[in-house]
Structure 1
């Protein structure tokens, strides 16, 4: 059995100035003598991973990726596994909604799963940034340095995209509603949704339904009554049990019962 007593993982909240840009920073470090393996739930966020120390490994399907100094992924639409060998440390920047587009002019890099962030800019600024971060003695200083570094590069948000990102009335069709409000066609609104956010409105609706199901499973695990699958199916508007199972396999490559077995090894980036 792996000794994980010296594996530390925690979140760092962002100051109010950046709450529209980043959801949080995530830190994981392994100072034990054994590798630590985790599975990351999909977040539909684009993430930027800075690796310090021993190189971490990412596994997606049959592809294994070394993080190198810096790696961009996203939007993360399906779970992937990562391994932190002894002596590794990662700092993960989680972009919110259209923030990645506002920095790079591109919202989707997940077709090839990964990207060298220097290739997105055509410059070596991220390699230079990593070199500066690597000299700093603690995580708080690194986070503050990243926030100061990014200020000059953040473009203003398109107000329509702001409405798309913040629309939370589940009883209304966001595409149809905002098309009527702005005088755009529904087709244009769909294209904008994918261009600026990196996914369609239909995709994110399905994901939010699945995320609600996962949250209810977690609540059931800690309750005296246990997990009530039929209640989850009803409250999350699944047609039947098979549709719920399909979503778990789609996002996690696990059945709901196997999720219960391995849930302690699964990290929820949005929970």
Structure 2
């Protein structure tokens, strides 16, 4: 039986991780294709079983695979992954500037369509050691406990430069506010400085975040419908798109497929939406 489930974090990791996710498949289970929604978040994946093949957006799954440790993000595109018999994964879902606080790597250096080679991180040797230690543990709960202690032992305080961004997160959910201008005015910074800090600490611009948050509402709307009959004209008007081609453009950008193709994926139960998408 294939198992995929979420585990809540220790409250001391609030602002670092949103949750852990565990995937484990029986050896006799048939392979299956899955799709994970974009989220703008970073994911650290430990694989203790058979390799997991993946692709992004509209690209077919080919030779790319996670064998041991992989780092995804910021997750701008839909992630396609193929589960096979013997998969055994522990996924750490970082949130906001949590990845930066742990790895101290400028986030604008990350590409959304490639898995970062852990060799590029100063913590590479420790990640390898953690993988070896967790591999020996018999349960996901014990692995999470060990990883939690590891994160807490090396957790850095928020960089003071990030505080104006974190304290003003609610601005991005208000249609009446220009978030960057509001943050700049409140913190007595230039708008250019605010934009630069966004890219450094979270890996994307404020403009990109606003675009994504609107698309997130569209996804949530579709996924909560009681039927798969979608009124596309209503979505365009409800969420402030210029026209249907504008909506289609966002679907192609984030998922790699058309809106109607996305609905079909959802009908097939192969799509998973991150409930913590910013």
TM-score (ref. length: structure 1): 0.91
Tell me which residue corresponds to 1:66.
Answer: 65
Change (3 A) 1:112 1:59: closer
Change (3 A) 1:132 1:166: farther
- Counterparts of 1:79-118 in structure 2, within 5 Å, are 79-106=78-105, 107-108=107-108, 109-110=110-111, 113-118=114-119
Cα distance, 1:53 vs structure 2:
1.2
Say which structure, 1 or 2, has more relative contact order (CA 8 Å, 6+ apart). Answer: 2
Cα distance, 1:169 vs structure 2:
4.3
Tell me which residue corresponds to 1:183.
Answer: 188
Deviations 1:137-188 (A, max 9, x none): 1111111111100112221113223225454442211110111111111001
Cα distance, 1:191 vs structure 2:
0.4
Cα distance, 1:117 vs structure 2:
2.5
Secondary structure in 2 aligned to 1:191? helix
Further displaced range: 19-28 or 46-55: 19-28
Q: Is 1:47 paired with 2:43?
A: yes
Secondary structure in 2 aligned to 1:114? coil
Tell me which residue corresponds to 2:20.
Answer: 25
Cα distance, 1:34 vs structure 2:
1.6
Change (3 A) 1:198 1:88: same
Q: Is 1:124 paired with 2:119?
A: no
Further displaced range: 11-20 or 243-252: 11-20
Tell me which residue corresponds to 1:139.
Answer: 140
Tell me which residue corresponds to 2:6.
Answer: 11
Tell me which residue corresponds to 2:219.
Answer: 214
Tell me which residue corresponds to 2:233.
Answer: 230
Change (3 A) 1:186 1:55: same
Secondary structure in 1 aligned to 2:145? helix
Tell me which residue corresponds to 1:161.
Answer: 165
Structure 1 unaligned blocks of 5 or more: 1-5
Deviations 1:41-69 (A, max 9, x none): 11100000010111111123366322121
Change (3 A) 1:123 1:7: closer
TM-score (ref. length: structure 2): 0.89
CA distance in 2, matches of 1:255, 1:18: 37
Secondary structure in 1 aligned to 2:35? strand
CA distance in 2, matches of 1:122, 1:177: 36
Change (3 A) 1:254 1:123: closer
Contact 2:72 2:112 in 1 (8 A): no
CA distance in 2, matches of 1:8, 1:123: 28
Cα distance, 1:217 vs structure 2:
0.7
Structure 2 unaligned blocks of 5 or more: none
Secondary structure in 2 aligned to 1:28? strand
